[in-house]
Amino acid sequence: MSKSLLVQTLALRDGKVLLGRWKTGPFTGRLTGMIGQMTVTGGAALPKPEFAASRTCRDLLGDRVQVDPRVLSRRALLTFEERDVNGDAAQSLGNTYSEYQLLHTLGPQEDFEPCETGDFEPQGWFGQGEIPFDLMPEDDRVWYDRVLFGGELLRGRFVFDGTSLLSHALEVIAPEQGLCGLDQGVPGEVLLLHNPDCAKCRTLRNLLTDKNVLFRERRYLEDPLSLSELETLAARLDKSRHHTSDLCRSEEIVEGARTLSHGGGDHWLLKILSIRPELLQRPVLVKGQRALLGRPSPTDAFAVLE
């Protein structure tokens, strides 16, 4: 048994989102972000939507658009029910399907030159108050602004009869929970993010073992954290002890990120860390929705277990 999983990439530049008009498929004639489809077979591991989104952007916008899947941020997971079983969407995607909404925030010097392809024609960049919702699927009016301009993480369900939206429900997800599955859905799991070549990491790992603490370990140089995972991790940092900037080992990089964001820096700093995992401070101990750094002493992270 298989089911459809869609991914929509929303490219955002200078506060404006790129929309395109579909020339083929169930969205023909309507405007959306870049939507691609994955087929998930029963029993198979769930593929990472970021990789499908990267491929979709290239397919729809041309080979000159290269999107690094590591820098895409999961902002919503929406489920759709199609009551009209003979409609285009139900015929193409099934009666029910889910769709990840991924945000791709472009930097001022980032190359992104979309062109028309056989399926998709870019229509331009639209800011808040400019988005042509009358030309788009009805659900977009409900959640687009909240995700693009409100910074919210959402789960939702939409029921359609053909192109008409019958009902919907949305839930706001706390940043500490996220949509990335950092803790693999195990409440209260202890997670050690570490580099085995680091003495402090080895010390903390040995201390956990000696104290019979059950934990999962992730060697972040071998299995780097995505931007979504870094955003969730940053939200879980104990703010009485750490700032997001403490996740980075380079003060020069921190200052550069602050310059990019005119003083803020969190998004650009985390984006840099997603591409350059060797800059991540170590070790990090996570339990539930709380995280601490093993700095200056590895034992400092033990407070997360209390």
pLDDT, tens digit, for every residue of 159-208? Answer: 999 889 999 999 999 999 999 988 776 778 899 999 999 999 999 999 99
> Residue 1 has what pLDDT?
43
Write down the pLDDT at residue 274. 97
Residue 62, classed as helix, strand or coil, is: coil
The burial of 288, by beta-carbon neighbours within 10 Å (0-12 exposed, 13-18 middle, 19 or more buried), is given as: middle
The reported pLDDT for the residue numbered 47 is: 76
Domains of the chain: 2-173 (3.90.79.10), 190-305 (3.40.30.10)
CA atoms within a 13 Å half-sphere pointing along the CA-CB vector of 4: 20
Residue 263's pLDDT is what?
Answer: 52
Q: Which residue is it, tokens 């019979």?
A: 212
The share of the chain scoring above pLDDT 90, in percent, equals 79
Q: What is the pTM of this model?
A: 0.92
pLDDT at 258: 79
pLDDT in tens, 125-158: 999 999 999 999 999 999 999 999 999 999 999 9
Q: Record the tokens describing residue 204, joined without a space.
A: 């903390």
SS3 category, 20: strand
Report the phi/psi class of residue 93: left, alpha or beta, with left for phi > 0 and alpha for psi in -120 to 50: alpha
Answer yes or no: is pLDDT of 2 > 70: no
Question: For the segment 45-79, what is each residue's pLDDT rounded down to a tens digit?
Answer: 677 899 999 999 999 999 999 999 999 999 999 99
DSSP H or E stretch at residue 90: helix 88-93
Region 291-303: what's the mean pLDDT? 95
Given a cut of 80, whether residue 260 has pLDDT beyond it is no
Q: Element (H or E) spanning 199, and its range?
A: helix 199-210
Residue 154 and residue 238: Cα distance in Å, rounded? 23
**If you average pLDDT over every residue of the chain, what do you get?**
92
pLDDT for the residue numbered 264: 54
Q: Which residues contact 37 (CB under 8 A, 6 or more apart)?
A: 4, 5, 6, 7, 52, 93
pLDDT given for residue 109 in this prediction? 80
Residue % of the chain over a pLDDT of 70: 95
User: Is the model's pLDDT at 267 over the cut of 80?
Assistant: yes
With 70 as the cut, is the pLDDT of residue 245 above it?
yes
Residue 248 has pLDDT above 80, yes or no: yes
Model confidence over 5-25: pLDDT tens digits? Answer: 999 999 999 999 999 999 999
Q: At residue 275, does pLDDT exceed 90?
A: yes
Partners of 20 in the β-ladder: 32, 122
Helix axes 227-236, 266-275, angle to 10 degrees: 130
Contacts of 270 (CB under 8 A, 6+ apart): 227, 230, 231, 234, 244, 247
Phi–psi pair at 193, nearest 5 degrees:
-100, 120
What does the block give as tokens for 194? 């570490």
- 46 close to 32: Cβ distance less than 8 angstroms: no
